[in-house]
Structure 1
Amino acid sequence: MTIDLPNIVGLLGSALMVIAYGYSNIARQMNFRLFNLLNLVGALMLIASLTVHFNMASMALEIVWAMIALFGLITAWRKRA
């Protein structure tokens, strides 16, 4: 693996998703906006990385992950509005 910009972006996206997962396990009261936003941004960063270093299985996973996070984010905003 070369350390190029797409790999750095992908690693940062992965880190955001791991942070979201860790947060969901330690938070006393979940902030679903934060949780879903971290997941959405992380998935979009991984998708951007995968456009350069393509992998079909990973791309499919990240697209689905981003759609679920977007749905969760919209739902969280509607509940607060």
Structure 2
Amino acid sequence: MTTPLDIYSFIGFIGTACIIGAYAYLTWVNEPNPFILHGTNLTGAALLTISLLVHTNWPSLVLEGFWAAIALFGLWKALQKRNAAQ
């Protein structure tokens, strides 16, 4: 592998940690907070996208676009549910 470990790689690693952390949170918590879950996934997707814009890997970049869209939809649903409850 010839890609250097630069600041963009470290940003990508933080994004990866966010997505793995969100999945672990979903698995370990009985009733996960959707704002934590989807917000962490969205943050991870955004950070990985920053990394992928510099170290382009098109399939991964497309995946992060879908990941972010799903997280945004989850946040939108959580906001609707919270507003309906109020």
Structure-2-length-normalised TM-score: 0.91
* Pairing partner for 1:66 from 68, 77, 81: 68
Shift in Å, 1:59? 0.4
Structure 1 gaps, min length 5: none
| Runs of 4+ off more than 2 Å | none
Q: TM-score, normalised by structure 1?
A: 0.96
**Percentage identity across paired residues of the two chains:** 40
How many residue pairs match? The answer is 81
State the partner residue of 1:52. Answer: 54
Match of 1:4 in 2: 6
Cα distance in 2, alignment partners of residues 67 and 12 from structure 1: 19
Q: Find the partner of 1:26 among 3, 25, 28.
A: 28
Give CA-to-partner distance per residue, 1:18-49, whole Å, 9 cap, x none. Answer: 00000000002110111000000000100011
Q: How does 1:29-40 map to 2 (within 5 A)?
A: 29-40=31-42
Calculate the aligned-residue CA RMSD, in Å: 0.7
Who wins on radius of gyration, i.e. which is larger? 2
